[in-house]
Amino acid sequence: MSEFLYILLLATLPALGNFAGGILSEFVTFSQRNLSMALHAAAGILIAVVGVEILPAAIKLQPTWVIILSFFVGGVFFILIDSVQDHLQEKGGNSESGSWAIFLGVMVDLFGDGLLIGSGSAISSSLGLFLALAQVTADIPGGFASMGTFKSEGFSRRSRILLAASFTLPVLLSATLGYWLLRGQSELLKYAILTFTAGMLTSITVEEIMPLAHRGKESRLAMLCFLLGFTVFTTLSVYLK
């Protein structure tokens, strides 16, 4: 198997995780409580990816300001995407929809997953594999939350399945871009792309995932899911190395 096909195979894992979460929402009773727990778990994993796996390694490189700037630009990039979505909704006369907000967050997250896998694999194949496997655990609750909200808003099962299948597009696209653009590039550039993605993931978590997770009555079990997600990923990061 060629290296490029190997990376594409890795990139399908997060998309399959999202799809599995979407299928799970067909069989598990969807409620605000379950949604909150799923989103808290996803947020815990995403924060661990950024704070435990990406930034500690990236800030060791020089010049460090490149890494810091990349993180900032990644966050700004997500803000621009979010602003465009809001503008299109207002122009079309549509009110804000929680389902589409989660769907956008998942799509951007998967785009970031592909960049993680592509740039991580450019650093080492084992890092790319680890990031792909770790992202699956974060993407299952994301898929559950996204498809569950579409289900609660009356979308047909066929529409939900097609939307879940569309999750493969952004991750394969970004993994391909990451692979071809970073081949033979410097370590600094590779980690700059990783921290760019970290900025996107952090913005998604703060601006999209957590506000939606806190709608309705709060549950201490939801916060436990957040801690569990963070702990599980950190454990994998430390002991699988």
Q: Find out whether 170 and 14 touch, Cβ atoms under 8 Å.
A: no
User: For residue 105, what are its two tokens?
Assistant: 């967050």
Average pLDDT for consecutive 10-residue bins of the chain (241 residues)? 77 82 73 74 83 85 91 89 66 53 72 79 75 74 73 73 78 82 80 86 80 67 85 80 60
Residue 47: its pLDDT value, please? 87
Amino acid of residue 139: D
The closest alpha carbon to 236, from 157, 151, 155, 127, belongs to 127
Rounded to an integer, what distance in angstroms lies between the CA atom of residue 190 and that of residue 58? 9
Concatenating the DSSP letter of every residue in 135-161 gives HHHHHHHHHHHHHHHHHHTT--HHHHH
Rounded to an integer, what distance in angstroms lies between the CA atom of residue 164 and that of residue 146? 9
